[in-house]
Structure 1
Amino acid sequence: MKIFVIIFLITSLYSSNCLAQRKTIFKEDFESYEYNWLIVDQKEFTVRQDSGKLYINKATKNEISNGCLWYRKTITGFNADKNFSISFDGKSISSEFNLGCFDFSWGRMQQFDGVRKLDLYNLDFRLNRVRLGKFQLGKGWEYFQWSTDLRDSSLTNFDIQRNVFNKFEIIQQDEVLMVKINNKLVYKLLVKPQVGSEIGFQQCIQSSWELDNIVIGQ
């Protein structure tokens, strides 16, 4: 037992030191227009920067309008295949699903001369659970377990409310993906890091949400 405690303590200290050593490579509070976020003003999709927030909306239920907005932002100096942390404040306003929330993606989401290159990880956040998905162009989606199906005593259940900002953290450390909500660990999986320098989201269901205070460390 003593050996286990010592090993666990050393591992914890190592992880904490690695996180502490990361430098902030991107920070956005949406108070200015320095980073030129793409504004979308369509009948079906809306993305706008307003009052220090990024507002995202899809107008019609997915069963009526089966289309998705794949939104991306290239982050200079960000390498998704290395250790990183991404934190942001998110607020779910509405959803066509009772427990629906929003998605957040990272990896390679590029298009050159009409050729799309999509290799990404995507977190599907619900009000009381989260699930990782992996998308590769030509192969489609691979889905991992929901947080509520994982048998891991280190994880905490969560139940967030609509119209309230919550803090979300995505941490990739030595092929381990960890997700925290309001400073509590809620999800943890082994992953194969994905090459890319983009972050973003896909908006497929009828929903509205707001994004603020993005900080990326590496």
Structure 2
Amino acid sequence: MKSINMILWLLFLSISINSYGQQKKLSVDEVIRTAEDVLKKRKQVSYNTKYTLYSDYSTKEIYEQYKGVFLKKNNVCYVKIKNTEFIAYDNYGLKINNDEKAIQIRNAANAAFEESPLSVTAYLKVFENRTIKNDKDFYICELKPGKISQVMLSKVIIYIKKSDLSITKQLLYYVEKMETKDKNGKKIYTTPRLEITFSNRIIDNKKDDLLIKRDNYFTVKGSDIKLSQRFSGYKLFKS
């Protein structure tokens, strides 16, 4: 599996949310469902993200690292990881590969919800085994698949602030092996883990409005979709 594809595959499930009120003992399901519900009600959220890939479950040596952005405003979600962008509207989802100069546009109802970190309850659909630990500042939710599963992860660990139920970090442990090299340059295969962290991003309404404006990417007339002029050299794929 190519490392960038691993990062893009897990894209979306991790965003901070605003204050949840009084702390209380919560189950994994309650923490995740409540976080999603509160986040849905926020009109604007903006975060810097960092994706750090490690070649195995325990090493501290970084294999690859990418910075990104998450923006949610007016029910539109914009996500950027390295040179790849995702924009999700109510009825259209875009993937822009700036390296390959290609744009994929998918016509789908509720794309903004399905393709965004709002859909945190998606984890609950595929991970049967769930435990929660408490430390001073965080709920630490650990999710694992059942004995028979096609999930590409052996477990996911999510750190959620007790003060506001904000998701600050995710650890994802893959089951599919990745090709790397040892210190002697010999080809080896390891099972990687990915760490995603979230930090507050300064809101710039002028810039952010451009990031989510649909006409900045494409226009629709009848059944015809036309890319904006700035993507004149890009190839369009529709589905």
Q: TM-score, normalised by structure 2?
A: 0.21
Question: Which structure is larger by alpha-carbon Rg, 1 or 2?
Answer: 2
Q: Which gives a bigger RCO, structure 1 or 2 (Cα 8 Å, sep 6+)?
A: 1
Q: Which has more strand, going by share of residues? A: 1
Q: Which has more helix, going by share of residues? A: 2
